[in-house]
Homo-oligomer: A and B are copies of this chain.
């Protein structure tokens, strides 16, 4: 039985104690720092405060459509000065997993990508060859010749050893048919993340998990997930930042990704904010998927520790 989450908003002593307890904070972005392109009030100042106290701040996102560079641009434009080493995204996590853990053998080391440019940029940054992705040749209707060539293999790249699925706004039957047949030929099935939904324009749309699920359904296989709450991502973060898990806190709005990610990673703490998808009612439920150790109304409440 988890202890009751501690409410920090407005409690200066508790806020100071909370901040002192950690040397690294992992931040989910959407619903914590911003909603879409609107940064929440006081967030830049809160980050500045934590950094002024010597805390390391890492932005951990499941959004596979953007690369780390894209995130750096966004963070800087929203007055959160950052560089590429402050960001850890699910596309980068997948690229690191493929290049450093999976180590596909020569002749089978290409990745068939279902996803946007963010995935491609991160694979390229790790030197992983890929096909598919944003290639215009895959952004069209499937033809009879495609069906035939996919079945007999003449249209498949024999060097593909993995299928990596992220959020793809250009998903179509042609890409899915290729992905399915690479899996049937033994390719390893990977997903940047499996979020069922994706927040956009103040609404929810289909997330990477809902783009990947046709392949899971048709193949009967489940992908290895590389985003939150997968511990493959936590291991990669720990390896990169050499962090002390007991002195690290995960901050997020989603219980099934952010908070679960921190709990299963045995971090020193998890902080839930009320500005995103899940609310405190969600962890107060009897069958809550994950219960944080701390909560605030909004991230900028941490400023009142000063």
Residues of B within 8 Å of A184, CB to CB, are 204
- Contact, CB under 8 Å: B214 / A206: yes
Q: Which residues of B contact A176 (CB under 8 A)?
A: 171, 206, 210
Judging by beta carbons under 8 Å apart, are B177 and A205 in contact?
Answer: yes
27 A-B pairs with CB atoms under 8 Å apart are: A144-B201, A147-B200, A147-B205, A151-B200, A151-B202, A151-B203, A169-B173, A171-B171, A171-B176, A173-B206, A180-B204, A180-B205, A181-B203, A196-B217, A196-B218, A196-B220, A197-B218, A205-B218, A206-B218, A209-B217, A210-B214, A210-B215, A210-B217, A210-B218, A211-B214, A213-B213, A213-B217
Q: Are B142 and A169 in contact (CB under 8 A)?
A: yes
Q: Which of B148, B181, B201, B213 contacts A147 (CB 8 A)?
A: B201
Residues of B within 8 A of A197 (CB): 218
- B-chain residues with CB within 8 Å of residue A150 when the two chains form the complex: 203, 205
Which B residues are in CB contact (< 8 Å) with A202?
151
In the complex, the answer to whether A173 meets B173 with C-beta atoms within 8 Å is no
- Which residues 118-150 in A have Cβ within 8 Å of B in the complex? 139, 141-142, 144, 147-148, 150
Distance in angstroms between the alpha carbons of A181 and B217 in the assembled complex: 22
Q: How many copies does the complex hold?
A: 2
Q: Is A170 an interface residue (CB 8 A)?
A: yes
A229 beta carbon closer than 8 Å to chain B: no
Contacts of A220 in B (CB 8 A): 196
Q: Say whether A16 faces chain B, with CB atoms less than 8 Å apart.
A: no
Interface size class of A (residues with CB under 8 A): 35 or more
A168 within 8 A of B: yes
Q: Is A115 an interface residue (CB 8 A)?
A: no
Q: State in angstroms the CA–CA spacing of A86 and B204 once bound together.
A: 44
Specify which chain B residues have a CB less than 8 angstroms from the CB of A205 in the assembled complex.
147, 150, 177, 180, 218
Q: Chain B contacts of A169 at CB under 8 A?
A: 141-142, 173
List the 5 closest A-B pairs by CB distance, nearest first: A151-B203, A210-B214, A210-B218, A147-B201, A210-B217
A207 at interface (Cβ–Cβ under 8 A)? yes
Q: Which of A144, A197, A206, A209 is packed against the most chain B CB atoms within 10 Å?
A: A206
How far in angstroms is the closest Cβ of chain B from A168?
Answer: 7
Q: CA–CA, A148 to B184, complex, Å? A: 38
Using Cβ atoms and an 8 Å threshold, which residues of chain B touch A204?
A: 180, 184, 218
User: Which residue of B has the minimal Cβ distance to A206?
Assistant: B218
Q: Is A82 close to B, CB under 8 A?
A: no
Interface membership of A231, Cβ < 8 A: no
Q: Would you give the 0/1 interface string for A148-161, flagging 1 where the beta carbon is closer than 8 Å to chain B?
A: 10110000000000
Residue A172 interfacial (CB < 8 Å): yes
